[in-house]
Amino acid sequence: QVQLVESGGGLVQAGGSLRLSCAASGSIVSINDMAWYRQAPGKQRELVALINRGGSTNYADSVKGRFTISRDNAKNTVYLQMNSLKPEDTAVYYCNVDSEYYNGGSTSRKNSWGQGTQVTVSS
């Protein structure tokens, strides 16, 4: 199937930067949309940024101009560069990947989630 491994979270002061990575592996045929979500304590999970296979992107209004999503199709990896971080960006960040994978002689579609990585921004 498809496995996702995230890295890059941590503790940073307000105004600082972090870069998150999420690598997909397994019997992957192709990857369509790749996205980052986040969930703060007591809040619903929300979409932060999305990038499709062609490289088109969408961002939540709260992160426009500060965050940049990118992908390396050869490495099946999606990145989130986060600049000018604010305390309200504190959350667990999850990557999400929509893919096709080999499944016993045919292909199947799967939506996969990473394990989550904590981002904490101190004031």
Per-residue pLDDT of 45-96, as tens digits, reads 999 999 999 999 999 999 999 999 999 999 999 999 999 999 999 999 999 9
Determine how β-strand 46-51 pairs with β-strand 117-122.
unpaired
Residue 103: per-residue pLDDT:
86
Separation of alpha carbons 98 and 76, rounded Å: 11
Q: Which of these, 3, 37, 8, 48, lies nearest to 23 by C-alpha position?
A: 3
Name the helix (H) or strand (E) containing 46: strand 46-51
Rounded to the nearest integer, the mean pLDDT of the chain is 96
Please give the average per-residue pLDDT across 94-111, as a whole number: 93
What region does 60 belong to: left with phi over 0, alpha with psi -120 to 50, or beta?
A: beta
Residue 1 clears pLDDT 90, i.e. is over it:
no
